[in-house]
Amino acid sequence: MTRAVLSLGSNLGDRLAHLRAAVAALGDAVLVVSGVYETPPWGDADQPAYLNAAVMVADPAATPRDWLERARAAERAAGRVRDPERRFGPRTLDVDVIAVWDAAGEPVLSDDPELTLPHPRAHLRAFVLRPWIDIEPHGRLPGHGWLTDLLNAEPLAGDALELSPRPDLALESTP
């Protein structure tokens, strides 16, 4: 596998530092990083606002499982603690593998419960789609369509309006 889109989010502690540490942990695999967006919490409104971003990564030797392990390692390094009682609760860092493409540029599909590809709820999340558009303006979510069409469709149009670009906050694409 060679290329993946990862979604980054943080709403506890030094949110920007957590996102920057995740990008740094991905190292030379990082191709491009989106802008940073401040977003209301999704799924559980009783928590602080998030900072979100997207990262395009590539590694000719990486499998989808490798991207998942790298995501989890970054979360552990940020002190992420998973609360089984609160699935969409606050977190220091959340790194989701959104989509993976193989060496031929074909999307990888997986129904593995631990790593479903593409991410089963990405098409419903403006905080994933909007940053992804920053790094791939003509991108498509495999099985769902053009990112811009998804972002502008109901019910996401309202969610997209709640995203606040944060041009004052930048993530570096190199460690």
* 121 catalytic per annotation: no
Helix and strand element counts for the chain (H, E): 5, 10
What is the token pair recorded at 83?
Answer: 């609360």
The structure tokens 């992420």 sit at: 80
Q: How far is CA 67 from CA 44, 78, 165, in A?
A: 26, 17, 27
To the query of whether residue 80 is one of the catalytic residues in this protein, the response is: yes
Known active-site residue 70: no
**Structure-token pair, residue 159:** 């969610």
Q: Among residues 15, 70, 94, 125, which one is catalytic? A: 94
65, 80, 140, 166: the active-site residue: 80
| CA–CA gap between residue 100 and residue 90 (Å, rounded) | 26
Q: Which among 91, 125, 130, 134 is annotated as catalytic?
A: 91
Catalytic residue list contains 94: yes
Of 96, 125, 130, 134, the catalytic one is 96
Active site residues: 80, 91, 94, 96
